[in-house]
Structure 1
Amino acid sequence: MTESTSPVLDLDDVSVTFTSGLGASRREVTAMSHVSLSVTAGETLGLVGESGSGKTTTGSVVLGLQRPDTGTVRFQDAPLSRSLRSRAGRMQAVLQHPRWALDPRSTILSSVLEPLLVHERRTPDTEARALSMLDQVGLPASFAARRPHQLSGGQLQRVSIARALVTHPAFIVFDEAVSALDVSVQAQILNLIQDLQAEHRFAALFISHDLAAVRYISHQVAVMRAGEIVEHAPTEVFYDLPQHPYSRQLFQELSS
């Protein structure tokens, strides 16, 4: 069967503003300005930019956590606001600090089981599915009874990825998912994400300030500055010759 080429996630002319301050200092801050992006199955879009550029707001919008002021967001060919039930378990996120996402009192198996039990009834094979997902992220069954404080940062991020993937989502947001890890562990997690994407064909938004990580993991790259997409290109094209002055500035900061 031929895989659909229509976007899994599509943003069209999306803008978001927030109000900041009180009284005379009250002002509107533009977090996203006329942003248009799309991601297809099996593809990763890398979103780069400095802190405050609008990357995290973009992640919130695509996950349905932040409603845009203008523009449209479509997930699997349906308006995001109308597809809440259909996207249950079909959109997930992997964040920067896995310890914040995991209950320190729960076992690793319970943490991976939780998303499944939210979206469906427990069946005789539910636990086996969670154990299988732990195995897929490189954690043997002996880890199932452990608790978060007994795992390293890299192992915890593997648990977070297992939690995200156990419901077989069509789309995953990775928000600075490797930035808190040692360089050698970063490479292992990036390789793991690539392998899992090749197998499960999920679409992904990889939010990062790390141009090297984005280059390694992404099929296309979008550069964000002050809420605007200033450059968007296939990864090979972007890294061969960035066009926008801000993109070139990011490259200079990386090499300095």
Structure 2
Amino acid sequence: MSAADATPAPAPAPAPVIELDDVHVAFTSGFGAGRREVRAMSHVSFSVGPGETLGLVGESGSGKTTTGTVVLGLQRPDSGSVHFQGAPLARSLRSRAGRMQAVLQHPRWALDPRSTVLSSVLEPVLVHERRSAEVEERALAMLDRVGLPASFAARRPHQLSGGQLQRVSVARALVTHPAFIVFDEAVSALDVSVQAQILNLIQDLQAEHGFAALFISHDLAAVRYISHHVAVMRAGEIVEHAPTDVFYDLPSHPYSRQLFQELSS
């Protein structure tokens, strides 16, 4: 067989944006003789590549939110490692400002009620750049991209609906073009029709910008719609991790099947 007939080797998979290896986090609960250790994360390992979304599901108290704080560097693990873009996650928040972002369940908690929409979107940019006409134009362009025209720039949070506030949060997260975003129950407080709009917006923006995402939710329908892979947490451990289609066709772990029944009822 000639060299021309040889089948080209497949392109190597892109390096993970975020990677956890055997991460353990424990907290102390109670007082005196009742003090005990609570495992928030135990032997947690996963990775998320560029343009991918990992859906993280589990009941309340399973460790999902702690996982989100660990991957953002807001909580240091007791053991194990967290790598971001191939390097150990830096301890300095400023050093990774803008490269990692979060969109939370209640945008009113994340937005200063005294600030205008434009100022809120500009806030993460101004960590590294001075305010200027060019910087403001970028923020206005991002607001427009998430469906909020320039007339919204001077408004304050109390003047916006829940869906509009979450669009501001998404714009604020995307304006620095991060490599990784955590969506922590980002649509659970919204009406069903608004949820669909925000999920579609996140999908479109991920296709455009290629960011990796961790989508934390108890909403199995939302996770199925937006995620490429699904991980199930129980008592701090990941008990199942599979491609979305495989997982929803036939969850393999008994707890996953139980979770389907509980969250679908």
The alignment's TM-score, normalised by the length of structure 1, stands at: 0.97
- Partners of 1:89 and 1:206 in 2: CA distance: 18
The 5-angstrom pairing of residues 1-256 of structure 1 reads: 5-81=14-90, 84=93, 86-256=95-265
Q: Deviations over 1:105-162 (max 9, x none)?
A: 1111111111111222223300000000001101011111111111100000000000
1:114/1:82 CA distance change after superposition, 3 Å: closer
Gaps in structure 1 of 5+ consecutive residues: none
1:22 CA drift (Å): 1.1
Look up the SS of the partner of 2:90 in the other structure.
Answer: helix
Look up the SS of the partner of 1:92 in the other structure.
Answer: strand
- Partners of 2:38 and 2:263 in 1: CA distance: 28
Question: Does the 8 Å contact 1:44/1:205 carry over to 2?
Answer: yes
1:80 CA drift (Å): 0.4
1:30/1:134 CA distance change after superposition, 3 Å: same
Gaps in structure 2 of 5+ consecutive residues: 1-10
- Structure 1 consecutive aligned stretches of length 4 or more whose deviation exceeds 4 Å: 82-86
Q: Deviations over 1:34-67 (max 9, x none)?
A: 0001000000000000000000000000000000
1:253/1:82 CA distance change after superposition, 3 Å: closer
Look up the SS of the partner of 2:173 in the other structure.
Answer: helix
Higher-Rg member (1/2): 2
Question: Does the 8 Å contact 2:97/2:124 carry over to 1?
Answer: no
How many residues align? The count is 255
Query: Could you tell me the percent identity over the aligned residues?
Result: 86
Question: Does the 8 Å contact 1:75/1:83 carry over to 2?
Answer: no
Q: Deviations over 1:58-112 (max 9, x none)?
A: 0000000000011000000010036755422100000000001111111111111
Q: Which amino acid in 2 is paired with 1:137?
A: V
- Partners of 1:174 and 1:105 in 2: CA distance: 24
**C-alpha RMSD of the superposition:** 1.4
- Partners of 1:109 and 1:10 in 2: CA distance: 33
The alignment's TM-score, normalised by the length of structure 2, stands at: 0.93
Question: Does the 8 Å contact 2:230/2:247 carry over to 1?
Answer: yes
